[in-house]
Amino acid sequence: MNTQIIAIANQKGGVGKTTTCANLGIGLAQAGKKVLLIDGDPQGSLTISLGNPQPDKLPFTLSDAMGHILMDEPIHSGEGILHHLEGVDLMPADIQLSGMEVSLVNAMSRETILRQYLDTLKGQYSHILIDCQPSLGMLTVNALAAANRIIIPVQAEYLPAKGLEQLLSTVSKVKRQINPKLQIDGILLMMVDNRTNFAKEIAALLRDTYGSKIKIFGTEIPRSVRAKEISAEGKSIFAHDPGGKVAEGYRNLTKEVLKLEKQREKSRAGIGR
């Protein structure tokens, strides 16, 4: 099985990375894919939003898995992986992960510890999605080193151009030095309020600035009070408000992501001939 590893990354907090990771993951599962979500943020937002309100009480989290790799200790198959009712698996995170960031600084092959862990799981999943922390530290670099694709959620509320420059330069560094397979799937506009011209202006600005180099997803995720409510419920937007605009947005995003995948496979097959 050729596992697609998608990092959901932006060093700005509060742009909807966790919401996107959970709902795109569950969208892919609904499309018949076998999906593992990785919580790569010590705050454990993804873990909490998928119904585990006290991540620090979980017996085995991502920091334990990475710790085993660092120490060359074996990991039992499926150890620590939680199953969610909506058909996805989750490798949770807790605050210990912030200590892992410190341990990585002096480790051999420190950028690839997460990749080595994911290598132990690859054959079991068609898609692995990583919810990155809001920083460009060692954990995010590990996620970029492990992924072959990145989705960048951007809030359509303020000019995100400056922050994006930093992220894009980190991405190209990782691609050049560690992971040549890394590709940006696109920028995803989040929390779009279509009643305001401002969101349209930001969208247009992003398309002007980056549209020639980076795909801007056709799908935009609308602002919604309901989407805010779900993080407390442990359910996806599909279970919470299936007929709503946000659920429709994530269904469309899922289709776009799968379509991109198909196109890349085709062009690879063409090159391989």
pLDDT tens profile 14-52 = 889 999 999 999 999 999 999 999 999 999 999 999 999
Paired strand residues for 132: 40
Quick one: pLDDT band at residue 164, thresholds 50, 70, 90? confident
Q: Cα dihedral sign for 184, 25, 231, 227?
A: positive
- Nearest Cα neighbor of 172 from 184, 154, 160, 162 is 184
Paired strand residues for 40: 132
- Share the mean pLDDT of the chain: 90
Topology of domain 4-272 in CATH is Rossmann fold (3.40.50)
Q: Cα dihedral sign for 59, 62, 63, 67?
A: positive
Lowest mean pLDDT among 26-35, 78-87, 103-112, 225-234: 225-234
Task: State the Cα–Cα distance between residues 35 and 45, nearest whole angstrom.
Answer: 18
| pLDDT higher than threshold 90 for residue 209 | no
Strands 183-192 and 216-222: parallel
pTM score, two decimals? 0.94
pLDDT of residue 161: 57
Quick one: pLDDT band at residue 101, thresholds 50, 70, 90? confident
Sheet with 4-8: list strands edge to edge.
82-83, 88-91, 35-40, 127-132, 4-8, 149-155, 183-192, 216-222
pLDDT of residue 73: 95
| 205 contact partners, CB below 8 Å, separation of at least 6 | 159, 161
| pLDDT higher than threshold 70 for residue 229 | no
> What is the DSSP secondary-structure string of 44-59?
-HHHHHTT-S-GGG-S
